Structure 1
Amino acid sequence: MKLPAFSVVYKQDWFTRESYRTEGDVAESFLSQSYAGHFNERPYLRHRCFLYLTKTTRERTRRRSDFSTLCRGYILPKEITDWDAVVKFLEAVEQFERIMNDSGHVRMKRLRTEELVGTEDSPGLFEKYLALEMEDRPPVLQDICLDPERMRVGDKRLCLHVLSDTEDLPASVATDRRYERLSTDRSDCMLSFAAPVGLLLSCNHIYSQYVFIDDAQEILQQMEKTSRNMLSLSRYSRSNAVNHEWAEMFLDEAHTQGLLPVRCHCNVLAWADDGEELRRIKNDTGSQLALMGCVPRHNTVDPPRTLLVGHSRKCR
């Protein structure tokens, strides 16, 4: 089941430093207790993954993150108030969840309202994101400094690296790649392409991936037109001829294999408690992005907008 046009798939991976806690049981055997005691209080990087599906409109899918709704007479677009469109989107989401669970590779669970907005005793996911805390302890209000050069959430200092331009990506991108440190001549250890900014990045951080699904037919028609223009101008420039060939290859695969053209944006939001650790985290994040073959781009202009956009995607 394909998600409808003008949908947004937002995958958010949390990696937080925690200490291993044993869940002791009196009935456990001696070996189980020894195993638990061996790892008790040892630091590790815990991974949590959240997937958000948002139905937007043609107008809003191309809107900038710094747009304000204060100048509009209404907040919700007219397309969202159409109940039939909402029902179709919810049906697509349910089928999407069923397909993902039936694959056997991942297990998805839909969050309840109290898990999103929280209760009087425990914060919800929205509040945890704004506080950059994943512990289920009583909520504590924290100040947010929105200065792009030194953004802070409470005592945490933030840095942001983004991947939003195809020129920053390597020549070829795959779902997985060979990890040399754990591979041998006879066996290959395959890890995710984004593993360097996942568990291999040993600091508190959030790796966010946005996939924007537009009108596929409209985009393919625009690419057909662009390809014809490149063909007409190929005699004047070799780069136009090369671009024409690449466009034709993409169009052939899109039509024969049913692929959808999408837009994507990725960013790594890391934080530290002091300036010295933050400088080390900046260098580590840039090095891990370089290991992926990407050009590290440290964003110092709009980290506050990026943080708030991630929150607004959850609220829709």
Structure 2
Amino acid sequence: MKSKKLEEVLPIYAIENNLLISKKGDISVVYKLELPQIYSMDVDSINDINAIFDKFIRSFPEGTIIQKQDYFFIDKVTGALADAESILTRSDNQFFFEKPTLSHECYLVLTKDSKNTISFTSKPQLYKTFIQETGEFQKLVVASMSFLTKENYFSAERLKDDALVLLLDKYFSLSKDGDTFLKDVFMDKKLQVGNKHAEIYSISSNLQLPIKIDSSIRNGDFSTPKTDFQIPFIQPISVGLDCNHIYNQVIYIEKSEKLYSHLTSKMNKFKSLAVISKENKLIYDQINDLIQTVLEKELKFVKQHYSVIIWNESQEGLDKNRTEIKNSFRELGMTPYQIKYAIENAYLNNCPGAALFLQDSFKFIGVSEQAPVLMNFESYYEGNKSGILFCDRKNGAPLRLDLWDEPVKRGLIVNRNRLIFGPSGTGKSFLINHIASQYFEQGHHIVMIDIGNSYKKLCQLCNGQYFTYDVGEPLQFNPFYTGGEEITVDKKVFIISLIIFLWKGDDSYRREEKQILAMYIDAYYEFLQKNTAVFACMSTFYEFVCANTVLEKEDVYFDKMSFQLSIRDFHDGKYAEILNSRNPIDLVAERFIVFEMDNIKDHPVLFPLVTMLCIDVVMSKIRQVPSVKKSIFIDECWKPISKGEMAEFIKYLYKTVRKFYGEVAIATQDVEDILDTAAGPAMINNTDTMILLSHKKKMASKDKFAKYLSFSESDLEKLFSTDKREVYIKVGSISNVYKVTVSPQRYACYSSNADENKTIYEVYNETENMELALNQFVESNN
């Protein structure tokens, strides 16, 4: 075969003024599109996007070609995921380095047909007209792109000259980064670009499509007996195909009457041949149905072309890719044509800006309404610059999810609080460890209140403060101590809630009792200002109440004897040490704090009391560092403080932490735990972020999620598709599922396996070095 020079076969003449110019004088404007995340859209969103793009197609005049190209490249993670020097961050960089993944880029090429070949030198008037029409076309493109991007599904950036050169390089080198020196291209019955073996599959006829095409299809892997997980129809051959490929989609806008006439002529031909074979009768029926649909719905005829280029650096790899793509087409009921004898035309003229040169045999007539169903409007997961390290569900590629700043800036949430639901065995503590460790690495102050020693290793690794409540040597607090400052409203609310709990327990109280108690607190602090020798604590407050009255005939509403009998244990009885400390815990400088409550988890008084006191200590801390990010994790311990007056305390907690640049993350096993408490509505109403682990064994909760957490059907489909080591996250109205994939060092740090922890602590107890203990465990298990 005689070789040809590139300039002889390349259909693009020039790149000038941010335009692609073909050898016939067609001009093309190119945009790079950002698309919605894969698996993020429900059926309504899919239909909405298709309707928007149909209107976009209709906005252009005859002679316009809309070419959409999706490039999918097998890639590797090469850059560092973070710059921090902690053992866990270093392990992330090492663990994910050179991990194979897929990347995606989407380009929209809008071409104006020049009608006739332009001579740029011999016909100045024709050239002048060409320039004028080019300007008008660009104005139309800007208006249409504005319409396309206003719905928030898409964002677009116009490519300039250098980016256009790079795009052509990507296409003709089949390489993500392009290639300055284009490789030899072999196009005789097979396609080979440099060392890359390639094949092209085309959809060039309605007969290659299934009889009925829906905008979405059921994904069997993620569906359950009670939920249907829907994905866009075309996903299996676009974002769902796990190999190097380009999905090319071209819409030709021509005179509808011309296309109608052509289609009618073709239909009549097959009608006369219908008696010969059933196949001819079937083709006649299909064309007739298409024409009737267009006439009834007043749709617009268009020509279209769809093709997929796959490639691999080895022939064996390409054989495997061929099997994959044929299976994907088969899944959709499509029968693609593998292009061999016209491969030069198909490859060269599918390049950006050259679609007008594509031979007619590769085009077929359809309607603008159906065309978007065959186009890809999804991309792989887009991460943030900072946030929690997860992996995308499709390819396992690492990405960062910002749950702190970005959702607030976008207006998705008004608070950073979150509820975490994880049924037993789904990895709730593992996930919380993962979130807390990264927030600590990113500068947050972390406080964790826990049952079960789930966060001890992480605390020791971070050189944090670990408080374990021991009945023999109890933690000592002093909620009355203000350091000589005037008592704040928040502090007063907390003390009232605390005393009512100690006095009334789970019993109801009268509003008058609460009001009189508030008056006693005001009077007590006035007394302290005048009597500086008196130390503020529970004992002196108890003595003050016993010795004074704040209201005439207060005994009608305030049972002082009941108060004394209930509180006395905290004055000079068995719990006297807990609320009368003269050395209040100072945690302002501590960045990682854990309060472990396992020893008192079954105590009806101490458990809720100490939990409340720990939170109050934390509140005192966060008020002193208002500009620092603060995360408070309460794992199961919230239950005892959610009854009666404690519901008011929960509201106080949410309100206060929000004002001081913080969040409360409350974790529990079941949504029923929240719903069955008095504080439940307050917790849900003040939480804009929901994090849920696999609920496949909790399908009975489906209706409760819909009713009480306002989960849509799409939210429920995603939630119940979540498997082990996956997490469903809903931020405001946006939701998706992510993988929790971690390095061996992070696994060792987070694991709750008793045997593994025993091995780790054998080293730690000898060395008092948790980093060394984790590394030795990882090395011994390699």
* Alignment TM-score, normalising by the size of structure 2: 0.34
Quick one: which of 163, 166, 175 aligns to 1:133? 175
Aligned counterparts, 1:127-276, within 5 A: 127-135=169-177, 139-149=180-190, 151-220=191-260, 250=290, 253-254=293-294, 257-276=297-316
**Is 1:114 aligned with 2:154?**
no
Of all paired residues, the percent bearing the same amino acid is 23
Distance 1:104 1:220, change over 3 A: same
Q: Please give the secondary structure, in 1, of the residue aligned with 2:146.
A: helix
Instruction: Pick closer, same or farther for the CA change 1:226–1:45 going to 2, 3 Å.
Output: closer
1:96 pairs with 2:136:
no
- How far 1:250 sits from its partner (Å)? 4.7
2:75: which partner in 1?
18
* Higher Rg: 2
Q: Which moved more, 1:80-89 or 1:299-308?
A: 80-89
Match of 1:66 in 2: none
Change (3 A) 1:226 1:142: closer
Q: C-alpha distance in 2, partners of 1:87/1:250?
A: 36
Relative contact order, higher structure (CA 8 A, sep 6+) = 1
Which residue of structure 1 lines up, in the alignment, with residue 721 of structure 2? none
Structure 1 residue 152, shift from structure 2 partner: 1.0
Deviation at 1:110, TM superposition (A): 0.7
Paired amino acid for 2:251: V
CA contact (8 A) 1:4 1:89 kept: no
Separation in 1, partners of 2:123, 2:331: 43
SS in 2 for 1:108: strand
SS of aligned partner of 2:349: helix
Alpha-carbon shift at residue 26 of structure 1 (Å): 3.3
Rounded to whole Å, the distance in 1 between the matches of 2:123 and 2:337 is: 33
Q: Do the aligned residues in 1 keep the contact of 2:172 with 2:182 (CA within 8 Å)?
A: no
- 1 CA distance for matches of 2:97 and 2:347? 34
Paired with 1:93 and 1:49, the residues of 2 have a C-alpha distance of 17
Deviation at 1:113, TM superposition (A): 0.9
In structure 2, distance between residues paired with 1:106 and 1:202: 24
Structure 1, unaligned stretches of length 5 or more?
A: 61-68, 118-123
Structure 1 residues 220 and 205 mapped into 2: Cα distance closer, same or farther (>3 Å)? same
Task: Describe the shift of the 1:315–1:171 C-alpha distance in structure 2 as closer, same or farther (beyond 3 A).
Answer: closer
Q: How far is 1:35 from its partner?
A: 5.6
- Secondary structure of the 2:68 match is strand
Return the offset for 1:203.
1.1
**Post-superposition offset of 1:283:** 1.9
Which one of 350, 359, 365 corresponds to residue 310 of structure 1? 350
1:74-93 deviation line (CA, Å, top 9, x unaligned)? 899x6994344323321221
Q: Deviations over 1:81-140 (max 9, x none)?
A: 4344323321221112111211211211111111112xxxxxx1112211111126x723
CA-CA distance at 1:32 after TM superposition: 6.5
Q: Is 2:101 the partner of 1:44? A: yes
CA–CA separation in structure 2 for the residues paired with 1:298 and 1:245: 26
Residues in 1 aligned to 2:305 and 2:68: alpha-carbon distance in whole angstroms: 11
Instruction: Give 1:44 deviation, angstroms.
Output: 1.1
Q: TM-score if structure 1 supplies the norm length?
A: 0.77
> Letter of the aligned partner of 1:113 in structure 2?
D
Q: Which moved more, 1:197-206 or 1:216-225?
A: 216-225
CA offsets per residue over residues 187-245 of structure 1, 9 Å max, x none?
A: 22222211111232211111111111111244346667888x79x98xx9999999888
Answering whether residue 56 of structure 2 is matched by residue 3 of structure 1, we say: no
Distance change (3 Å), C-alpha of 1:170 and 1:129: same
Q: Give the aligned CA root-mean-square deviation in angstroms.
A: 3.8
The CA distance in 2 between the partners of 1:199 and 1:294, in whole Å, is 17
Change (3 A) 1:30 1:96: farther
State the distance in 2 between where 1:183 and 1:294 align: 23
Deviation at 1:22, TM superposition (A): 4.1
Label 1:81 to 1:156 Cα distance change in 2 as closer, same or farther (>3 A). Answer: farther
The aligned counterpart of 2:665 is: none
Unpaired stretches in structure 2, ≥5 consecutive residues: 1-55, 357-782
